[in-house]
A and B are shown apart, each in its own frame.
Chain A
């Protein structure tokens, strides 16, 4: 085999491996989300890219609080009306249902459950968080309107807990999303969760519930951390 042939062969192999890599990257995207051409109702052919057409890909921006007494008043209202997203991420979510029972009754503190991220302010990361769930948590967190709060339940969200060396769970939650209140324990009792809500209320009333702005400020850093651990990143960089 001549040197030229050899070079051609190597080049061909390189090209093939490149296309393979491209193909491998592409497989992360669901077929229905792939960039493609479709026929519009009026008969014209248009190009669509669902991931970028359906979602905003803009970075989040910091939203300035109001000034003085007004913000204090609004913070009081926010603290007394906390709507929690009904999304259990790990084993700790078993501690949430008792909160609506007569024994613990979180409603008397103004804490209510909401089924959609658009209407929620607080997000309980309940226990261990697998990488697969982290992806959904990020999407959900970014869809919640600001100001929003995160309560991290259990040791797993602090240092990985008993899953500290697991291949599939994350160890430190605040590397990926900003956390307002940690509730330590494995598992913390519902009373601990209520105490966490009380702490959150205190923080909000003091004007310290501004983690959504912190997320916007350090967006690139958070995104880099998230992308480091989520290998199959098949969503826009920011989900409105």
Chain B
């Protein structure tokens, strides 16, 4: 396959991921509405919001970092996509493996933080105290999520002796009994719990809670910037789900399987969010340092013995 064909497939994949992210976001809102006995937003609302945000005429600026912040966030999402094998086709140069390579697990861990750090810089330049507060909370929670997540990733890397997501998916082929969910249950449990924090839904959504601290890091952003951030958020949501699907649930062999699995993974965080109310940030950080971190340690210890 030529590099142009590869680029074409990658861009097409990004387009699918973006739209799937919007649809999942709308589904989340819809499920919440139905639980509250409401009819809820139309399923196409996120596209309308994006169009509306692009059509805003006024743009204010607080300096160069303010522009770059949302771009960083989008780069985080797109970077996560670029180095993640989406659909397992039996060949490392398959149509939908994107630009995954040996060692991309480390890069993916880095890209997860990248967007958040970009937002911290952008929102920091905005100068709004609520932005800074949202960022401080976001980074605190993210650090607490990353620690158990990294331990679980390391445990999986030790288990299969590779840092390549593609090879990890390859090792899980041939039936669900080969999934990491069953071969390495401690790492899987750590990831499934830490995922709740990575998704940022209730009970771990204080970072962007609309009531307590206005809207967190995004307080000062409007119009196109906000549109950028929404798109980046949608891509990130899908990519987080794809990452956990690849690492725990055996990857996907077709787009249909990917869509079903990512929806179920996403639904897990939505389901927890609908049942449990929002944590305070110190509660959520303490929680991540208790259960998932201990499980992560166990996963590491078992596989390094």
Interface residues of A (CB under 8 A from B): 63, 74, 77-78, 80-81, 83, 101-102, 105, 107-108, 110, 112-116, 118-119, 121, 145-147, 240
| Contact yes or no, B55 A116, CB < 8 A | no
Q: Which of A83, A105, A118 meets B38, CB within 8 Å?
A: A105
Q: Interface with A: B40-48, B170-178, B234-242, which one?
A: B40-48
- Kindly report which residue of chain A lies nearest to residue B226, judged by CB atoms: A119
Q: Which chain B residues border A63 with CB–CB below 8 Å?
A: 57-58
B interface, size bucket: 20 to 34
Q: Which of A108, A110, A119, A121 has the most CB of B within 10 A?
A: A119
Q: Which of B45, B57, B59 meets A110, CB within 8 Å?
A: B45
The 5 closest A-B pairs by CB, nearest first: A77-B51, A145-B58, A102-B37, A74-B55, A81-B52
Complexed CA–CA distance, A123 and B49 (Å): 17
| Contact yes or no, B39 A108, CB < 8 A | yes
Q: Which chain A residues border B210 with CB–CB below 8 Å?
A: 113-115
Q: Which chain B residues border A146 with CB–CB below 8 Å?
A: 56-58
A55 CB to nearest B CB, Å: 11
Given known A-B contacts A81-B45, A81-B51, A110-B48, A145 and B211 have beta carbons under 8 A apart: no
> B215 in the interface, Cβ–Cβ < 8 Å?
yes
Complexed CA–CA distance, A80 and B43 (Å): 13
Complexed CA–CA distance, A188 and B45 (Å): 28
Chain B binding surface, main DSSP class: loop
Q: Which chain A residues border B214 with CB–CB below 8 Å?
A: 115-116
Interface residues of B (CB under 8 A from A): 29, 33, 36-42, 45, 48-49, 51-52, 55-60, 210-211, 214-215, 218-223, 226
Q: Which chain A residues border B211 with CB–CB below 8 Å?
A: 115
Q: Which chain B residues border A77 with CB–CB below 8 Å?
A: 48, 51-52, 55
Given known A-B contacts A78-B52, A115-B210, A119-B226, A107 and B219 have beta carbons under 8 A apart: no
| Contact yes or no, B215 A114, CB < 8 A | yes
| Contact yes or no, B56 A107, CB < 8 A | no
Q: Which of A101, A114, A145 meets B56, CB within 8 Å?
A: A145
- Provide a sorted-by-A list of 24 A–B residue pairs whose CB atoms are within 8 angstroms: A74-B55, A77-B52, A80-B48, A81-B45, A81-B49, A83-B52, A105-B33, A105-B39, A107-B33, A107-B38, A107-B40, A108-B38, A108-B41, A112-B41, A115-B210, A116-B214, A116-B220, A118-B222, A121-B52, A121-B56, A145-B59, A145-B223, A146-B58, A147-B56
Given known A-B contacts A145-B58, A145-B59, A240-B60, A119 and B222 have beta carbons under 8 A apart: yes
| Contact yes or no, A78 B55, CB < 8 A | yes
Q: Which of A102, A108, A145 meets B222, CB within 8 Å?
A: A145
| Contact yes or no, A116 B51, CB < 8 A | no
Complexed CA–CA distance, A112 and B38 (Å): 14
